[in-house]
């Protein structure tokens, strides 16, 4: 099996060197980039399995790079930043980042998060390949006027396909697979992000908000919706 490829994008030489050392010791193939305006080109030429992306970069910031990558690829992206503003984290997640790590950090934590994200990606790709080969759509949830397809990673509302980053779709699929059951934020983090996800429960709120904006319409009758259960969590309610 070929080694997983990691693209490190950061303008701090020390961070680049430390992370590169850790990843290569674990058998990863690593490419580095220290200029924001060269990151998209580095991504296209290296074709990594995962990107570790600093937010503050010369030439182009991490959010713009994430936005450009998401136009053509759903490769996992982990954002790094020295900023502590919650808004920065929300923006990154809304643009399609899979995880968010504040600086300073422990290299072992970054490595653990990368392994967790890649495990989920491998499982997703394996399931899709297996389902396609059998031509059996076992990972499609359907309600009147709504469907979420975890094989093709497509959400449809009233016949219109809606774009969602992978993590939003996986969260929606999990809730829709368990109608009318309430899940706490911690349970959603565990089941959708994985038991070793290090993120905050705020991550769930951000993703729920974005999903609602895309699939719910107060001007039309829907027999399903994502409900907030105060002090508890969320559920996919059907009527």
Mapped onto helix, strand or coil, the DSSP state of residue 143 is strand
Helix-strand-coil percent breakdown of the chain, rounded to 5?
45, 20, 35
**In whole angstroms, how far apart are CA 107 and each of 101, 111, 154?**
11, 6, 35
- Between the two ends of the chain, the Cα-to-Cα distance in Å is 47
Judge whether 196 lies within some domain: yes
Which CATH number is 48's domain given?
Answer: 3.40.50.2300
The verdict on residue 131 lying in a domain is no
How many distinct structural domains can be found in the chain?
A: 2
Higher pLDDT, 31 or 128: 31
Q: Which residue has the tokens 């990594």?
A: 48
pLDDT at 14: 95
Quote the domain boundaries for residue 50: 5-123
The full DSSP string for 176-208 is HTSTT--EEHHHHIIIII-TT----THHHHHHH
The residues near 102 (Cβ < 8 Å, ≥ 6 apart) are 80, 81, 82, 83, 84
pLDDT at 131: 46
Same domain for 74 and 167? no
Other CB atoms within 10 A of residue 35 CB: 14
114/18 same-domain check: yes
Q: Given 66, 97, 123, which residue is the final one in a domain?
A: 123
pLDDT in tens, 34-85: 999 999 999 999 999 999 999 999 999 999 999 899 888 888 899 888 766 6
CA dihedral angle for residue 211, residue 213, residue 217, residue 219, rounded to 10 degrees:
160
User: Distance between CA 140 and CA 10 in Å, rounded?
Assistant: 39
- pLDDT of 202 over the 70 cut: yes
């Amino acid at each position: 099996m070929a080694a997983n490829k990691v693209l490190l994008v950061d303008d701090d030489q020390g961070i680049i060197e430390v992370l590169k050392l850790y990843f290569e010791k674990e058998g990863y193939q690593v490419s580095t980039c220290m200029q924001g305006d060269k990151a998209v080109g580095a991504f296209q030429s290296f074709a990594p399995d995962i990107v570790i992306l600093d937010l503050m970069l010369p030439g182009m910031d991490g959010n713009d790079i994430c936005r450009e990558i998401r136009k053509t690829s759903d490769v996992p992206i982990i954002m790094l930043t020295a900023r502590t503003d919650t808004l920065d984290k929300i923006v990154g997640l809304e643009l399609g980042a899979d995880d968010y790590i504040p600086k300073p950090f422990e290299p072992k934590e970054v490595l653990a998060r990368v392994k967790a994200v890649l495990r989920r990606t491998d499982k997703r790709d394996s399931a899709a390949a297996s389902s396609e080969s059998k031509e059996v759509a076992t990972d499609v949830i359907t309600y009147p006027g709504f469907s979420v397809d975890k094989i093709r990673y497509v959400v449809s509302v009233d016949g219109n396909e809606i774009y969602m980053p992978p993590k939003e779709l996986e969260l929606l699929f999990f809730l829709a697979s368990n109608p009318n059951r309430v899940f706490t934020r911690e349970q959603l983090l565990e089941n959708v992000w994985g038991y070793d996800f290090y993120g905050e429960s705020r991550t769930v709120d951000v993703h729920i908000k974005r999903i609602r904006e895309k699939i719910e319409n107060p001007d039309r009758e829907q027999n399903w919706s994502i409900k907030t259960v105060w002090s508890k969590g969320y559920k996919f309610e059907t009527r």
